[in-house]
Amino acid sequence: MGLKRRQRVEPEFSLAAMIDVIFLLLMFFMLTSNFVTTNSLQLQLPSSSSSSPIASTPLAVSIKKTGQIYLGNSTITRQALQGTLASRVKAENKDPKQVTITIAAEQGVPIEDVVFVLDIANKLKVKTILATSQLKEEE
């Protein structure tokens, strides 16, 4: 009786397909991780160690925590701020690039309010100074 021996098939596993999948996943995660943005701003409000104050400017904008905006010593609405600042810059009879607006924001003011005033100053092409409180020296 001539029985043939059955040929045993050795199973082979190709890692090439698995490596391709892992490589594609790695590329996907590397590319998408660069586009992830956080929804919060980590801001540290400015402070200064300088003891000499700058000369006061006639254009000073103050912002309170309650959202009130003051131009000099008078209250002004957000809508009227740009027009009033533009007329005061023209009244200076200088190049707008030589006019400076000082912005003093109370601690705890939302950053959006400060950016609102900075945006108006940018549109008017004037310089801005963000007023800070002096650091207290530790004794």
pLDDT tens track, the chain, 139 positions: 667 777 887 778 788 888 999 999 999 988 887 665 555 445 455 566 666 655 555 788 889 888 889 888 889 998 999 999 988 888 876 776 778 888 888 888 888 998 999 999 989 888 888 877 655 554 4
pLDDT value at residue 41: 46
**pTM for the full predicted model:** 0.56
Which DSSP string do the residues of 35-77 spell out, in sequence order? Answer: T---SS-------B---SPPPP-SEEEEE-TTS-EEETTEEE-
Helix H or strand E segment including 103: strand 100-105
| 59-130 placed in CATH 3.30.2130.30 | no
